[in-house]
Amino acid sequence: MRILALFTVIITGIILAYGTQDMPDWGDPKSPASIHVSPRYIEKTIEETATPNVVTSLLADYRGYDTLGETTVIFTAGISCILILRIRKRRREQK
Amino acid sequence: MIDLIISKYNYWIYIVLMMIGFYAMIGKKNLVKKIIGINIFQTAIILFFVSTASKRGGTLPIIEHAHGHGAHAIEAASYINPLPHVLMLTAIVVMVSTLGVALAIMILIYRRYNTLEENEILEQRKWSSNPPF
Query: pLDDT tens digits for A6-64?
Result: 999 999 999 999 999 888 888 888 888 888 888 888 888 888 888 888 999 999 999 99
Chain A interface includes B23 (CB < 8 A): yes
% of chain B with per-residue pLDDT over 90: 53
Q: Cα–Cα distances in Å, from A78 out to A10, A18, B25, B87?
A: 36, 40, 24, 21
Q: Which of B9, B61, B104 sits opposite A81 (nearest CB)?
A: B104
Report if residue A56 sits inside a domain.
no
Q: Which of A21, A50, A84 sits opposite B104 (nearest CB)?
A: A84
Domains observed in chain B: 2-59+76-127 (1.10.287.3510)
State the pLDDT at residue A43: 86
The domain in which residue A16 lies consists of 1-26
State the pLDDT at residue A78: 93
In A, which residues are within 8 Å of B12 by CB distance?
17, 20
